[in-house]
Amino acid sequence: QLPPEARIWQVNIDKLRPSAFQPRIYFEKAKLEELAVSIKQNGIIQPIVGRKTGSGAIEIIAGERRWRAAQLAGLHEVPVILKNMQDQATLEMAIIENIQREDLNPVEEAEAYQRLSQEFQMTQQQIAEKVGKDRATVANIMRLLGLPDLIRQMILKSEISSGHAKVLLSIADQKTQIDLAKKIVRQKMSVRQLEKMAAAAVSGGHKEDENVVAPESNVTQRLISGLAEELQKIMGTKVSIDYHQSKGKIAVHFYSDEELTQIVDRLKDGYGKR
Domain-ending residue, one of 52, 78, 104: 104
Q: Would you say residue 117 lies in a domain? A: no
Structural domain count, the chain: 2
Query: Do residues 149 and 263 share a domain?
Result: yes
Domain-ending residue, one of 104, 124, 148: 104
Q: What pLDDT was estimated at residue 210?
A: 39
Q: What pLDDT was estimated at residue 36?
A: 94
Instruction: Of 46-60, 114-128, 204-218, give the lowest mean pLDDT range.
Output: 204-218
- Of the ranges 132-136, 143-147, 171-175, 217-221, the best mean pLDDT one: 143-147
Query: Do residues 161 and 255 share a domain?
Result: yes
Say which residue, 91 or 140, is predicted with more confidence.
140
| 130-168-114 Cα angle (round to 5) | 25
Query: Do residues 170 and 257 share a domain?
Result: yes
At residue 101, does pLDDT exceed 70?
Answer: no
At residue 165, does pLDDT exceed 60?
Answer: yes
Query: Do residues 164 and 261 share a domain?
Result: yes
At residue 178, does pLDDT exceed 90?
Answer: yes
Q: Would you say residue 128 lies in a domain? A: no
For the annotated catalytic residues, the residue numbers are 64
Task: pLDDT band for 222, please (50, 70, 90 cuts).
Answer: low
Query: Do residues 68 and 167 share a domain?
Result: no
For the entire predicted model, the pTM comes to 0.58
- Of the ranges 97-106, 230-239, 246-255, the best mean pLDDT one: 246-255
Query: Do residues 100 and 169 share a domain?
Result: no
Domain range enclosing 82? 4-104
Q: Would you say residue 22 lies in a domain? A: yes
Q: Would you say residue 134 lies in a domain? A: no
Mean pLDDT, rounded, of the chain? 82
Quote the percentage of the chain above a pLDDT of 70.
86
Give the integer Cα–Cα distance in Å for 4 and 159: 43
Domain-ending residue, one of 104, 119, 150: 104
Q: Would you say residue 165 lies in a domain? A: yes
Query: Do residues 30 and 94 share a domain?
Result: yes
Query: Do residues 51 and 170 share a domain?
Result: no
